Structure 1
């Protein structure tokens, strides 16, 4: 206990001295806490360090991320209120939790073995659910299965776990029957932004092999089909639409190559690749980056159905808002994409 000497208010001037008379040294991170505690510490004979020195008492607020051995800032106020130096130990703060696993070389949080096992078990336990879509993965994200986003979990399963463990590919990922690929993609394109349950209908699409569209069939209608999907309720009747030059065999061949390349590179189904093209105005490089990262290459957001509907309005204020959101060049490209 520090001895004698009182301040005018009856507070000890030796409150923060060790038993041998040496002043206690404290370090407080710059901020409001330091401004509040500094006068109390100095008035009680303590010293403040400008940097965290060995032997100095590290003071912090409860809840702060601090190393082991830090002392609660309440220690100072308790000592002042009681006008006596109290033991430090009862005021020690718990050490910070262990640091998370190191990020992968690409800068993403690495998956642990436990998370990989949880992903495999979750997918196997939901047999028949569509693993190339997003509904299943959003459910797993909402359930807190791992620390990762639903996009990261889907990518981990499709590109690493399924090939490694020989997981069977579901027929529905290879064929879509009944509902056209563009109509199906648009259903989820709409529901992804609105938060409705209509995307669940995608899980119920017929999956018999042989009834769906091939990449070549899909590519032949890519340009017009994209517009149909992006703007439901406003599309022209198919028979009234002039046939686009995009249907030429050479262009179709290039589209087929591109889509097959994306399906193989990212281990994704035709439906998912088509939807990515819809959201990225049909731009190949931007779509590739989006499939890899879930973001656009230029940092702007992807187009939603609501944005497309806004784009149709003849309103300069609305157009200015879209330009602020997507950039003038992207808005011009989207307008051209709709008219093509």
Structure 2
């Protein structure tokens, strides 16, 4: 462990203090000067990296009393150097959001202001949550990346950093936006429409439509008798039900005795049956009796 001296207090800091959640060193950048020389050993001995040049992924550090007009015009977010000192003193990685300069003003950091005003860390308001949800709802497929969150930070969707907004959404808000999705809401079908649909189906169904035309509302027994006479021919059975059997018009009806002859496979009876019912009639009757 590295030893850190601050105000006469001896403490030991972890060599992995400035590692991110992936186990990679946190990268910092500060403009050359006395402060950089002072922070160099604190960062490197605690596992971090102090970049020689400004990198796009590096955390930008600035001394509260040394912010310049050029830094303000850069429209980039800077973290107070007090963050490094406090992390080392407390030997833990603190919330970097509390040390971000508001509008790049060389004022007290949030952490310092908290000590003076007795206020806690900057919390998310209902307006902040609503702003995040409304923005992400348009591009929710990008929530796992960083680009959309960095864009939100540039546009000032909230006063929090993009890392903080992303963490807030993934831990607390993503379920709310899912509940608001219209896909998850079941579609309510009015009862009247459902009844109408059933009515339409009943009218387009051929069997109920035919049965309504059947005189005297033939029961199931009569229907089965008609099918038996017609060897399973539905249209012919319907003719029997509606108009009755006409010996002069319709082909002969199979009798029980003829069915027994057909099932007996008696070759001597076959010519007689063919003469009475025809070869096609025998074929249909055999298929019908086999299916029963």
TM-score (normalizing by structure 2): 0.30
- Larger of the two Rg values belongs to structure: 2
